Structure 1
Amino acid sequence: MPREQTPSGSAAAAAKTALRDRVVTSRRRRPLPERAEAARAVAEHLLASPEVRRAATLAAYVAVGSEPGTGLLLEALRASGRRVLLPVLLPDGDLDWATYGGEEHLRRAPLGLLEPDGERLGPDAVAGADVVLVPGLAVAADGLRLGRGGGSYDRALARVPLGTFTCVLLHDDEVGLDVPREPHDRPVTAAASPSGLTRF
């Protein structure tokens, strides 16, 4: 894009807000059976991927609300003997991490989140994961991810070594959108949606 057309920080932030509103509205309209099928399909694609198959430790998250579900995926990963790290939101918006011990070891947290009740491992624990699965609202064709605006996962992704498989979980119509860019944004290397894996 020519320099004169590059949006200012405030313009990019406003464009992100508009895109977030649009995606969240669309997600809320999805019927429950469609959401359940999306969760199953995304789990199958990820579990079949070579990156996940050879991973010993994965960082993931517990989906909430209208996000593509992660319950099936988390249980399948744990049942296969893999170590799964889940985030714990810190007061400053950064993410700590703890090992997933099953649904019975999740507790309610602020903002409607579910978090692991195990020992905190520190914000840098995500750097030791072989695979990092993150939430999002959309992703561009170059892997630029749109989050909810808190910056938590941009900070976490900044700690992940280059070359690590980082993947956002989305619905099909949220992949390949025009995501406004800001300097702090961190791209992902792939997106998982019901139709398959898209690599960037």
Structure 2
Amino acid sequence: MLRQEILAVRNRLTADDVREAAVALAGRALELPELARARTVAAYVSVGSEPGTLALLDALRARGLRVLLPALLPDNDLDWGAYTGEGSLARVQHGSKMALFEPTGQRLGPDGVALADAVLLPGLAVDARGMRLGRGGGSYDRVLARLERVGVHPALVVLLYDSEVVERVPAEGHDRPVDAVVTPSGVRRFRHGS
């Protein structure tokens, strides 16, 4: 139900709303110390009315960072490839799901995300505990479980609109909290045991 409500609000956003939020979001994210000291950042290309990421991806590349982007696999896991600019993206339709923009170059495999010093995560909401509500496909749950399994702990940051920081989202035992949320109006950090 919460997913449907958030998606309904996003669907009412105009192209100008999305564009303005993307510029503000990029500015806030670029102030993060986790990104300032990172060498490699795993991110994603926003689609539809998601908080925009392209300006942020280009700014990270301009800083000399290696940016990794996901490619959806048939089992909903994610492979990873390098982003080298908008020309390195292809629009890929995955059956009846939403079309995604994915990297066209060499693939690093699902474990490629372990190279990242910071992971920028999509989501629909985050709560006061830092628990992220995704779209329900489980792709990023697998990513977070993989990072834990291989023993790497990159900074986990979710990118959202201001209204998507909520009191509580449903969470299951396998869910992992994020370290911070970036919205157009600011950054909120979460304290949790490591």
1:145 aligned to 110, 123, 132, which one? 132
Q: Say whether residues 1:121 and 2:111 are aligned partners.
A: no
Q: Secondary structure at the match of 1:150?
A: coil
Answer with 152-161 or 190-199: which moved more. Answer: 152-161
Contact 2:89/2:104 (<8 A) preserved:
yes
In structure 2, C-alpha distance between the alignment counterparts of 1:158 and 1:32, rounded to whole Å: 34
Kindly indicate which of the two structures has a greater share of residues assigned to helix.
1
Aligned length: 183
Q: Aligned letter for 1:63?
A: S
Instruction: State the superposition RMSD in angstroms.
Output: 1.1
Match of 1:88 in 2: 71
Q: CA deviation at 1:42?
A: 0.9
In structure 1, C-alpha distance between the alignment counterparts of 2:88 and 2:15, rounded to whole Å: 25
In structure 2, C-alpha distance between the alignment counterparts of 1:112 and 1:163, rounded to whole Å: 30
In structure 1, C-alpha distance between the alignment counterparts of 2:166 and 2:3, rounded to whole Å: 14
Within 5 Å, give how 1:1-200 maps onto structure 2.
18-109=1-92, 110=94, 111-160=98-147, 161=151, 163-200=153-190
Larger radius of gyration: 1
In structure 2, C-alpha distance between the alignment counterparts of 1:69 and 1:78, rounded to whole Å: 16
Q: Secondary structure at the match of 2:142?
A: helix
Alignment identity in percent? 58
Q: CA deviation at 1:163?
A: 4.2
Q: CA deviation at 1:98?
A: 0.3
Q: CA deviation at 1:152?
A: 0.2
Answer with 156-165 or 85-94: which moved more. Answer: 156-165
TM-score by length of 2: 0.91
Q: CA deviation at 1:61?
A: 0.2
TM-score by length of 1: 0.88
Q: Aligned letter for 1:83?
A: R
**CA offset digits 1:146-168 (Å, max 9, x no partner):** 00000000110122246421011
Q: Secondary structure at the match of 1:86?
A: strand
In structure 2, C-alpha distance between the alignment counterparts of 1:123 and 1:40, rounded to whole Å: 30
